[in-house]
Amino acid sequence: MHYTLMHKEISVVDIELDDASGAITRVGDVHNAAHIPIGIAYRNDVLDRKALNKWWYGRSIPASRQGIQQALAILRIGSTQELIDKSYGLSLSDQYWIKEKGSSLEWAEINFFTNDFSRDIGDILFGGHSSSAKIDLMSPDNTSDGWLRKKWTIIDGKRCLIKGGSGVTQQEPYNEVIASELMEKLNIPHVPYRIIMQGDYPYSVCEDFIDADTELISADYIMKSQKKANHLTTYQHYLNCCAAFGISNAQQAVDQMIVIDYLLANTDRHYNNFGAIRNANSLEWIGSAPIYDSGTSLWCNTPTKLIRPLASDLPSKPFKETHEEQLKLVSSFDWVNFEALQHFGNRVCEIFAESPYLDSERCVCLSSALDQRIERLEGLVLTMNHEQHHSPKIEEEFEIKPVSYTHLTLPTI
């Protein structure tokens, strides 16, 4: 089938899609190079079809999503990729879509930001069935990522994402609420979450922080905008790419994200769940995205008796393999108000106590664990400040370089 990849009402590039696989088999004329998705190479009038295909496939529901095989069976569809073009590739994260050649369809008529959408796909993904005899595939759920069960809905006129938990603890939704309150105390830009119960299960709910005039660009595609030099770390490469785009608050946003992920023991901050926001009309960058998607944290997949709050080898992402190594990248901790975090564990215990899946032992253990990590971080910052204060003065004629804390070794248990 012949389509044009659109960016709102702007024609970007002509493409051909394979009917069976949904893959882009051919790239045709480029109509507006400025609106090509970020991170897709376009050199010497040639658009990288392989990269565009990867971007296109990335819009589909991952095969690892909970309940996806049962949903595909109900829909009588072979793969999640086949769902993308059923709703024109529309998303609630950006403004890209595909328009069939010869069609008079307009973005204003079909986008999910200002138009209603079907709940059928979301209901089926949650293990239910369509309320109508004919399943309506016009849904932003066709282009939602992540492995946890989730669906989009409209609540009081606002586009909201509902996301479930996993395993015997169903802990992830409560983790999102805890992360929200923790960031609120530290004045960190974030997406607020709340809990709803559907049936016997808890779900987190958050409003879409993207609207009809903005779009989220993941760190992954920001970093693909430039070739990484071999001598650069991925951390420095990301900051360099942000600087090239003029995203002025990237360093501060990364500092805040690293600290929050340390405190929460987040093990899944990959390059697709943080990034920046730009204006979809002017293509001007607005700034780093608020922190979102912090559910895979607080030892949600670890049995209570195996939780070690101060373990130095706790795995992290995206820049270093452990949280303790990643903390060394933070340029400043001056913004961390430890006084505001005193006894925060009490609030953690209150939130977890609302869950029918968490016993009192686990609630107390997790609240104590977070308090211990707050205390540990405060001790580390005091050590850093002491060493910096007592370091030899640098004469003015020498270049003053950013302070590095890579020489510090954190205590282990």
Mean pLDDT in order along the chain per 10 residues (413 residues):
96 92 92 97 94 92 76 79 85 96 95 93 78 78 83 96 95 98 98 95 97 98 96 97 96 98 97 97 97 97 96 95 95 96 96 97 97 96 75 39 34 35
Shortest CA distance to 410 belongs to which of 366, 378, 368? 378
The pTM for the full model equals: 0.89
The pLDDT value recorded for residue 264 is 98
Query: Helix 172-185 and helix 344-353: axis angle, to 10°?
Result: 150
The pLDDT value recorded for residue 389 is 63
Would you say the C-alpha torsion 337, 393, 325, 147 has a positive or negative sign?
positive
The pLDDT value recorded for residue 223 is 98
The pLDDT value recorded for residue 403 is 33
Q: In whole angstroms, what is the distance from residue 184 CA to residue 179 CA?
A: 8
Per-residue CA distances from 204 to 38, 153, 273, 398, 413 (Å)? 30, 12, 16, 52, 34
Q: In whole angstroms, what is the distance from residue 203 CA to residue 221 CA?
A: 29
Q: What angle do CA 390, 392, 395 make, to 5 degrees?
A: 140
The pLDDT value recorded for residue 145 is 82
Quote the radius of gyration of the chain (alpha carbons, Å).
Answer: 23
Q: What angle do CA 318, 320, 322 make, to 5 degrees?
A: 110
The pLDDT value recorded for residue 103 is 95
Main-chain phi, psi angles of 187, to 5 degrees: 55, 40
Q: In whole angstroms, what is the distance from residue 324 CA to residue 253 CA?
A: 18
Longest pairwise C-alpha distance within the chain: 78
Q: In whole angstroms, what is the distance from residue 274 CA to residue 191 CA?
A: 12
Question: Per DSSP, what are the bridge partners of residue 285?
Answer: 278
The pLDDT value recorded for residue 81 is 79
In tens, the pLDDT along 52-97 reads 999 998 988 777 777 778 877 888 877 777 788 888 999 999 999 9
| Strand locations in 138-190 (E) | 150-155, 158-163
The pLDDT value recorded for residue 328 is 94
Pair 83, 137: CB distance under 8 Å: yes
Residue 389, C-beta contacts closer than 8 angstroms, at least 6 positions apart: none
